Amino acid sequence: MSGRPVTVHRYETDRYGDRHEVSTHIIQNTLFAPRPNAMGRGSNEFTDRRDTVIADAELYVPYGADVKSTDVIELESGAQWEVAGSPEPWQGITGWRSGTVVPMRRMTG
């Protein structure tokens, strides 16, 4: 797998519900794929007196990469995406460990 590095920001929530960053690390060789706006996925824009856009994407990382469902992924562009579900490893029928897919969501506005 060849691609670009991303920075993973890991957070913990204190007893008051406030989120604090506890660590960061870089994952090399990732691939970013925006989801198409089909069947309820992709990008949605809300125009009822607000300017909110919700976009979904997937990040493909090497097998065994350290990503949790509570992490925030920062791309090289500086855009930050929340992990939106459980990162799922996959492997081919020959047993080759292909990688892990990370579902992500970004909301602006």
The helix/strand/coil state of 47 is coil
Residue 37's pLDDT band (cuts 50, 70, 90): low
Domains within the chain, CATH numbers bracketed: 4-108 (2.40.10)
E strand map for 1-109: 4-13, 19-34, 43-46, 52-61, 72-74, 80-83, 88-91, 97-108
Tens of pLDDT, residues 39-81: 455 455 555 566 777 889 999 999 999 999 999 999 999 999 9
Q: pLDDT at position 2, please?
A: 59
